[in-house]
């Protein structure tokens, strides 16, 4: 069975529509930009409620809890095969307040040295046009669905 992830597509209107995307941390993603950004999301298993997992992952990746009216979006499948469940919610977040959890990885490769990296190294608000370029291509249908919901 393919892995599943759950996430939050946070949006605001100032006065144009903007969405919050996060950039993955760690050395692999350091110099990657277009197609590398994502909604705050993470994996969950069959014992966990997907919306609760999405809220947990948002909190872990940003350091802030999110609440509001959660609007379910159609799940999307990324190139890796991972199925991403997402909810849109209107809100605000100051990217300078980003406080992500960390993970341990061997770096440099085959060095036997373990280093700690943030799951997310930055967050930014983007217009939909810019977000379409920045987001993982498998998640771009979420942006189109959000635009249609709010039209």
Domain ranges of the chain: 4-150
Looking at the DSSP bridge assignments, the partners of residue 5 are: 43, 84
Backbone φ and ψ of 82, nearest 5°: -65, 135
Handedness of CA 78, 135, 24, 15 (dihedral sign): negative
The tens digit of pLDDT for each residue in 59-98 reads: 999 999 999 999 999 999 999 999 999 999 999 999 999 9
Q: What is the pLDDT of residues 45-54, one digit of tens each?
A: 999 999 999 9
Rounded Cα distance, 32 and 38, in Å:
12
Domain at 4-150, CATH class: alpha beta
User: What is the rounded CA–CA span in Å between residue 48 and residue 53?
Assistant: 7
> How confident is residue 26, by pLDDT bands cut at 50, 70 and 90?
very high
Q: What is the mean pLDDT of residues 21-34?
A: 94
Per the DSSP assignment, residues forming a β-bridge with 83 are: 4, 77
Separation between Cα atoms, residue 7 and residue 38, nearest integer Å: 9
Q: Judge residue 79's burial from the number of C-beta atoms within 10 Å of its C-beta, 0-12 exposed, 13-18 middle, 19 or more buried.
A: exposed
Rounded Cα distance between 69 and 89, Å, is 6
DSSP, collapsed to helix, strand or coil, labels residue 92 as coil
pLDDT at 1 over 80: no
């Amino acid at each position: 069975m393919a892995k599943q992830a759950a996430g939050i597509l946070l949006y605001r209107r100032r006065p144009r529509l903007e969405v919050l995307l996060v950039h993955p941390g760690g050395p692999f993603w350091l110099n990657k930009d277009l197609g590398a950004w994502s909604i705050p999301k993470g994996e969950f298993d069959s014992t966990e409620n997907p919306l609760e997992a999405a809220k947990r992952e948002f909190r872990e990746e940003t350091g802030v809890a999110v609440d509001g009216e959660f609007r379910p979006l159609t799940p999307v499948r990324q190139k890796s095969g991972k199925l991403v469940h997402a909810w849109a919610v209107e809100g605000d977040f100051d990217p300078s307040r980003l406080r992500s959890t960390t993970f341990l990885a061997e770096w440099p490769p085959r060095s036997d040295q373990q280093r700690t990296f943030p799951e997310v190294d930055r967050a930014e608000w983007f217009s939909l046009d810019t977000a379409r370029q920045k987001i993982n291509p498998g998640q771009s249908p979420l942006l189109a669905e959000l635009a249609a919901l709010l039209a």
